[in-house]
Amino acid sequence: MATEEAPDLVKVLHLLVLSFSWGMQVWVSFIAGLALVWQVSRHTFGLVQSKLFPVYFYCLLGSTCVSLAVFAVYHPRELLDWHQTVQMTLYFLALIVTGLNSQWFGPAVTDTMLQMREVEKEHGLGNQIGLGSQKEAYAKLTEQDPKYRTYRRTFGRYHGLSSLCNLMGIICTSVNLIYTALKLSAI
Protein backbone atom coordinates (compact mmCIF):
# COMPACT_ATOMS: atom_id res chain seq x y z
CA MET A 1 0.00 0.00 0.00
CA ALA A 2 1.36 3.41 -0.98
CA THR A 3 1.61 6.32 1.45
CA GLU A 4 -0.10 8.73 -0.92
CA GLU A 5 -1.42 8.56 -4.43
CA ALA A 6 0.93 9.83 -7.09
CA PRO A 7 -0.17 12.96 -8.98
CA ASP A 8 -1.50 12.35 -12.48
CA LEU A 9 1.60 13.85 -14.08
CA VAL A 10 3.83 11.42 -12.17
CA LYS A 11 1.60 8.50 -13.17
CA VAL A 12 1.84 9.52 -16.83
CA LEU A 13 5.62 9.95 -16.57
CA HIS A 14 5.98 6.53 -14.93
CA LEU A 15 3.87 4.80 -17.57
CA LEU A 16 5.59 6.59 -20.47
CA VAL A 17 9.08 5.78 -19.21
CA LEU A 18 8.19 2.14 -18.54
CA SER A 19 6.57 1.82 -21.97
CA PHE A 20 9.56 3.52 -23.60
CA SER A 21 11.91 0.99 -21.97
CA TRP A 22 9.84 -1.99 -23.02
CA GLY A 23 9.33 -0.76 -26.57
CA MET A 24 13.00 0.01 -27.00
CA GLN A 25 13.99 -3.41 -25.65
CA VAL A 26 11.62 -5.23 -27.98
CA TRP A 27 12.62 -3.16 -31.02
CA VAL A 28 16.38 -3.39 -30.56
CA SER A 29 16.42 -7.04 -29.45
CA PHE A 30 13.88 -8.64 -31.74
CA ILE A 31 13.19 -6.39 -34.72
CA ALA A 32 16.15 -4.18 -35.62
CA GLY A 33 18.77 -6.81 -34.86
CA LEU A 34 17.06 -9.56 -36.83
CA ALA A 35 16.33 -7.27 -39.77
CA LEU A 36 19.94 -6.11 -39.93
CA VAL A 37 21.52 -9.54 -39.59
CA TRP A 38 19.81 -10.72 -42.78
CA GLN A 39 20.15 -7.48 -44.78
CA VAL A 40 23.69 -6.17 -44.32
CA SER A 41 27.20 -7.62 -44.30
CA ARG A 42 28.60 -9.16 -41.14
CA HIS A 43 31.04 -6.29 -40.61
CA THR A 44 28.40 -3.64 -41.24
CA PHE A 45 26.12 -5.40 -38.76
CA GLY A 46 28.89 -5.38 -36.14
CA LEU A 47 29.62 -1.71 -36.76
CA VAL A 48 25.95 -0.73 -36.47
CA GLN A 49 25.58 -2.74 -33.26
CA SER A 50 28.74 -1.17 -31.82
CA LYS A 51 27.23 2.30 -32.32
CA LEU A 52 23.65 1.38 -31.39
CA PHE A 53 24.23 -0.60 -28.20
CA PRO A 54 25.89 2.11 -26.06
CA VAL A 55 23.00 4.47 -26.81
CA TYR A 56 20.49 1.67 -26.18
CA PHE A 57 22.08 0.63 -22.88
CA TYR A 58 22.39 4.18 -21.53
CA CYS A 59 18.83 5.14 -22.53
CA LEU A 60 17.64 1.95 -20.88
CA LEU A 61 19.73 2.65 -17.80
CA GLY A 62 18.28 6.16 -17.50
CA SER A 63 14.68 5.08 -18.01
CA THR A 64 15.07 2.21 -15.53
CA CYS A 65 16.48 4.65 -12.95
CA VAL A 66 13.50 6.96 -13.46
CA SER A 67 11.02 4.08 -13.17
CA LEU A 68 12.68 2.79 -10.01
CA ALA A 69 12.84 6.25 -8.45
CA VAL A 70 9.19 7.04 -9.15
CA PHE A 71 8.09 3.65 -7.88
CA ALA A 72 10.24 3.91 -4.73
CA VAL A 73 9.00 7.39 -3.85
CA TYR A 74 5.35 6.34 -3.90
CA HIS A 75 5.88 2.84 -2.48
CA PRO A 76 7.99 2.98 0.69
CA ARG A 77 9.71 -0.30 1.54
CA GLU A 78 7.98 -0.63 4.90
CA LEU A 79 4.53 -0.55 3.29
CA LEU A 80 5.09 -2.81 0.29
CA ASP A 81 2.74 -5.73 -0.27
CA TRP A 82 3.96 -8.94 -1.95
CA HIS A 83 3.31 -7.74 -5.52
CA GLN A 84 4.99 -4.39 -4.93
CA THR A 85 8.00 -6.16 -3.42
CA VAL A 86 8.27 -8.24 -6.61
CA GLN A 87 8.04 -5.06 -8.70
CA MET A 88 10.70 -3.27 -6.65
CA THR A 89 12.98 -6.31 -6.92
CA LEU A 90 12.45 -6.44 -10.69
CA TYR A 91 13.28 -2.73 -11.04
CA PHE A 92 16.53 -3.28 -9.10
CA LEU A 93 17.40 -6.38 -11.13
CA ALA A 94 16.72 -4.53 -14.40
CA LEU A 95 18.96 -1.71 -13.21
CA ILE A 96 21.77 -4.12 -12.31
CA VAL A 97 21.71 -6.09 -15.58
CA THR A 98 21.48 -2.91 -17.66
CA GLY A 99 24.38 -1.44 -15.70
CA LEU A 100 26.43 -4.58 -16.33
CA ASN A 101 25.68 -4.36 -20.04
CA SER A 102 26.42 -0.67 -20.34
CA GLN A 103 29.64 -0.73 -18.31
CA TRP A 104 31.22 -4.14 -18.91
CA PHE A 105 29.64 -6.63 -21.25
CA GLY A 106 28.66 -4.26 -24.08
CA PRO A 107 32.09 -2.62 -24.35
CA ALA A 108 33.82 -6.03 -24.06
CA VAL A 109 31.69 -7.42 -26.90
CA THR A 110 32.47 -4.40 -29.07
CA ASP A 111 36.22 -4.48 -28.39
CA THR A 112 36.45 -8.19 -29.14
CA MET A 113 34.27 -7.86 -32.25
CA LEU A 114 36.61 -5.17 -33.60
CA GLN A 115 39.64 -7.41 -33.00
CA MET A 116 37.90 -10.31 -34.76
CA ARG A 117 36.97 -8.01 -37.60
CA GLU A 118 40.61 -7.14 -38.28
CA VAL A 119 41.60 -10.80 -38.51
CA GLU A 120 38.59 -11.56 -40.72
CA LYS A 121 39.51 -8.70 -43.06
CA GLU A 122 43.01 -10.12 -43.43
CA HIS A 123 41.42 -13.37 -44.63
CA GLY A 124 38.83 -11.75 -46.93
CA LEU A 125 35.88 -12.50 -44.66
CA GLY A 126 33.12 -10.32 -43.26
CA ASN A 127 31.64 -8.69 -46.34
CA GLN A 128 29.06 -11.39 -47.02
CA ILE A 129 25.42 -10.79 -46.08
CA GLY A 130 23.95 -12.88 -43.29
CA LEU A 131 25.78 -14.47 -40.41
CA GLY A 132 25.31 -17.98 -41.76
CA SER A 133 27.23 -17.58 -45.01
CA GLN A 134 30.76 -18.89 -45.43
CA LYS A 135 30.54 -21.04 -42.29
CA GLU A 136 33.33 -23.29 -43.55
CA ALA A 137 35.72 -20.38 -44.02
CA TYR A 138 35.07 -19.12 -40.48
CA ALA A 139 35.45 -22.63 -39.06
CA LYS A 140 38.75 -23.03 -40.92
CA LEU A 141 39.99 -19.64 -39.68
CA THR A 142 39.03 -20.55 -36.11
CA GLU A 143 40.82 -23.88 -36.42
CA GLN A 144 44.01 -22.44 -37.94
CA ASP A 145 44.45 -19.13 -36.12
CA PRO A 146 44.86 -19.38 -32.32
CA LYS A 147 44.50 -15.61 -31.89
CA TYR A 148 41.19 -15.63 -33.76
CA ARG A 149 40.04 -18.70 -31.81
CA THR A 150 40.71 -16.81 -28.56
CA TYR A 151 38.81 -13.79 -29.85
CA ARG A 152 35.85 -16.00 -30.81
CA ARG A 153 35.75 -17.62 -27.38
CA THR A 154 35.98 -14.26 -25.64
CA PHE A 155 33.35 -12.78 -27.94
CA GLY A 156 31.03 -15.75 -27.37
CA ARG A 157 31.40 -15.50 -23.59
CA TYR A 158 30.75 -11.76 -23.39
CA HIS A 159 28.04 -11.81 -26.04
CA GLY A 160 26.29 -14.62 -24.17
CA LEU A 161 26.46 -12.73 -20.87
CA SER A 162 25.27 -9.54 -22.54
CA SER A 163 22.37 -11.38 -24.20
CA LEU A 164 21.43 -13.03 -20.90
CA CYS A 165 21.44 -9.66 -19.13
CA ASN A 166 19.38 -8.14 -21.93
CA LEU A 167 16.86 -10.99 -21.77
CA MET A 168 16.61 -10.65 -17.99
CA GLY A 169 16.02 -6.92 -18.41
CA ILE A 170 13.26 -7.55 -20.96
CA ILE A 171 11.58 -10.02 -18.61
CA CYS A 172 11.82 -7.61 -15.66
CA THR A 173 10.41 -4.72 -17.68
CA SER A 174 7.65 -6.91 -19.16
CA VAL A 175 6.52 -8.17 -15.76
CA ASN A 176 6.58 -4.63 -14.34
CA LEU A 177 4.58 -3.39 -17.30
CA ILE A 178 2.03 -6.17 -16.75
CA TYR A 179 1.80 -5.35 -13.03
CA THR A 180 1.39 -1.68 -13.87
CA ALA A 181 -1.31 -2.39 -16.45
CA LEU A 182 -3.24 -4.54 -13.97
CA LYS A 183 -3.03 -1.85 -11.29
CA LEU A 184 -3.32 1.34 -13.34
CA SER A 185 -5.15 3.23 -10.62
CA ALA A 186 -2.40 2.45 -8.09
CA ILE A 187 0.64 3.54 -10.12
pLDDT tens-digit series, residues 140-171: 999 999 999 999 999 999 999 999 999 999 99
Asked if residue 135 has pLDDT above 90, the reply is no
Would you say residue 49 lies in a domain? yes
What contacts 89, CB < 8 A, 6 or more positions away? none
Question: Per the domain annotation, does 98 fall within a domain?
Answer: yes
The whole domain housing 171 covers 8-126+133-186
Residue 111 inside a domain? The answer is yes
The pLDDT of residue 2 = 46
Domain membership of residue 29 (yes or no) is: yes
**pTM of the predicted structure, to 2 decimals:** 0.89
Q: Is residue 65 part of a domain?
A: yes
Total domains, the chain = 1
Number of helices followed by number of strands (H, E) in the chain: 7, 0
The answer to whether residue 74 scores a pLDDT higher than 60 is: yes
Does some domain include residue 109? Answer: yes
Three-state secondary structure along 128-161?
CECCCCCHHHHHHHHHHCHHHHHHHHHHHHHHHH
